[in-house]
């Protein structure tokens, strides 16, 4: 979802790489939630973050909390790092909350964070940077 918002808001200024602890499958509920806000993520391919661990990135944004999750990756060459503590919809749904509701809650939190990032760092005349979403 973060990749979808990022691409929609930055007009391809940044090269966006999105990956997670596990490759898994694209959540149909996430596709539906993003479609509700006008963003199509059906072509997204979930990837495992391991394939990017040796890469250098200007910006690295993780959606996991290093204090709580051992699987949160480290990118030592990044110039700028930030963690957005978005609770995992899968974890919340497993705890008994409605899956559709928690996906939409995560979507809205991610949208807010991406909008703040873009407002602060997006400049149409700047060089392309790399960013990773996890």
> Residue 24: inside a domain, yes or no?
yes
> Residue 114: inside a domain, yes or no?
yes
> Residue 61: inside a domain, yes or no?
no
Distance CA(34)–CA(104), nearest Å, equals 8
> Residue 75: inside a domain, yes or no?
no
Q: How confident is the model at residue 69 (pLDDT cuts 50, 70, 90)?
A: low
> Residue 38: inside a domain, yes or no?
yes
Distance CA(75)–CA(11), nearest Å, equals 25
Domain that holds residue 2: 1-47+87-120
> Residue 77: inside a domain, yes or no?
no
> Residue 7: inside a domain, yes or no?
yes
What is the model's pTM?
A: 0.81
> Residue 69: inside a domain, yes or no?
no
Helix (H, G, I), strand (E, B) or coil at 94: helix
Domain with 19 in it: what CATH number?
Answer: 3.40.50.2300
**pLDDT tens-digit series, residues 97-112:** 999 999 999 999 999 9
Distance CA(125)–CA(100), nearest Å, equals 38
What's the total number of domains in the chain?
1
**pLDDT tens-digit series, residues 18-47:** 887 777 889 999 999 999 999 999 998 888
Distance CA(45)–CA(106), nearest Å, equals 19
């Amino acid at each position: 979802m973060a990749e979808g918002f990022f691409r929609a808001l930055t007009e391809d200024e940044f090269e966006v790489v999105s990956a997670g602890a596990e490759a898994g499958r694209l959540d149909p509920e996430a596709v539906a939630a993003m479609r509700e806000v006008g963003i199509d993520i059906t072509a997204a391919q979930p990837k495992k973050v391991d394939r990017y661990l040796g890469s250098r990135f200007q910006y690295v944004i993780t959606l996991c909390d290093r204090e709580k999750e051992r699987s949160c990756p480290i990118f030592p060459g990044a110039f700028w790092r930030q963690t957005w503590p978005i609770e995992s919809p899968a974890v919340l749904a497993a705890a008994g909350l409605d899956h559709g509701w928690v996906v939409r809650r995560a979507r809205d939190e991610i949208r807010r964070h991406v909008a703040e990032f873009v407002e602060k760092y997006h400049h149409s005349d700047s060089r392309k940077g790399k960013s990773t979403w996890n």
